Structure 1
Amino acid sequence: MNTSLDEIVFEGRNKAYGAYALRLNYAKNVQRAFAAGIALFLTLMYVPRLVSSLRPEKKTEYMVESVLTEIDIDKPKEEIVVPPPPAEEAPVQRQVRYLPPEVVTDVVEESPPPTIDALENAQISSQNVEGELLPDLIVPPTELVGPSKGTDIGAESAVEEKIFTSVEQQPEFFGGQDALMKFLGKNIRYPSQAARANIQGRVILQFTVMPDGSIADIQTLKGIGFGCDEEAERVVRLMPKWKPGKQAGKAVRVRFTLPVYFSIQD
């Protein structure tokens, strides 16, 4: 027996009431509604495209109006070079020839010495020069002395006291640059506060190498702080005497610049 669910439900009931007919035709009605919905959707989707394809396209024309404006370009102006005024010649001081007397064996004719009146408004010189009377420019005569055969002690002391920045023979750490690096690496103690803060860098020091090779006047030109500057100065004070710098074969004071590197090894 092929008995449907509708037959079982409406068994012994009034099938002409209407509900039986609705349940019996439900599946067909759903299929018809689904087909009608798809047809309506396709119609709404393709009708605008069909209408737009049937209408002729309107071409839009654009007009661009260009206006040309004449621009006057000024010609570059010629620079007028003004010649510099002529240099004024400095006035020439009147001079009178006056030479110190010399002891000679042969008699030579010489011009007589100048008079006191001639020396009043003139400057003593080795020759006669005609010029203007300039009382403000008159200076006392220079003492004429012969060449000295002795040694100028004052000049030598002045050279020794002068501090040079560049000399013929630069000062040097005994043993050279490698010995200097070994000395710094052996004596430098990394400051604890710099190590905790991971401070690394270069401290630039400057000091004077004396004629006897000793170190003096230590200064920090550029530091990194955290105790590194003080540590670098401390190690430089521990240095032994250097080979002094020399100028013209003599030991002199020389200003020396030394970079000290602080680096944390991994």
Structure 2
Amino acid sequence: MAKDIDLTSSEWCDLVFEGKNKAYGAYDMRQNSPKRHNRAMIVVVLVVIFAFSLPYIISSIVPEKEEEIEMNVVTELSKLDAEVKKNEELKPIVETPPPPPLKSSIKFTPPVIKKDDEVREEDEIKSQDELIATKVNISIADVKGNDEIHGQDIADFKEIVAPKKEVEEKPYEAVEQMPTFPGGEAELMKFMSENLKYPVIAQENGIQGRVILRFVVSKTGAIENIQVVRSVDPTCDKEAIRMVKSMPRWIPGKQNGNNVPVYFTLPVLFKLL
């Protein structure tokens, strides 16, 4: 009879637990063990199949990406080449302006004292009558003219020199000699106490604090580019900026003995007494 029973069947489980307590859990685990074994076997087989096929999957994916990238690059380059040729065809032809009307002139050469036998006939100084007869001007260079009646002498043309653009020097954060207020720090404190006016609105609202300003002391000592680093109130900020703008020129900062623009940070205190 035992030979006819399948070990994975529920009959075999009932035979093993015949006359025993089936309520404490071992019976249920034994009954469900075939299902667990089958599921575990399927998972193991799938993992093994995936592990063996992973290299083939990777090798099949990578070439496709490279080909796609290469095709995109070729397409973009072909479009670029077409656009460049199109732009070249549409480029307008710039005509060269004609030369200005000029009179013929002979370059003036300072006379040199030589012996008579060393002077060639063509180098001899011409007389005033001969110069008038030739109707050729004496100028700064030898020029073959193209309009003897209405043309101008080459000496009348002045060289046009484009004005040089001054390169704006970037302000320094710190230098060998920092900029100072005329008379030093004591005079600066005195100027601030005498010229700073507490805004009425800020007083009525009990607003007080320290406004921190940052500005540039230029190479000439002028105050430029005032910025509020820390604000207390718009009215206080505005008053602090007004007071700084009313300051006289500072003594500019120096680097390597030269005046340079320098950033300067100044706290302005608003305090109710």
For the aligned pair, the TM-score class normalised by the smaller chain equals: 0.3 to 0.5
Give the number of the structure whose residues are more often helix, by fraction. 2
Is the radius of gyration larger for structure 1 or structure 2? 1
TM-score by length of 1: 0.40
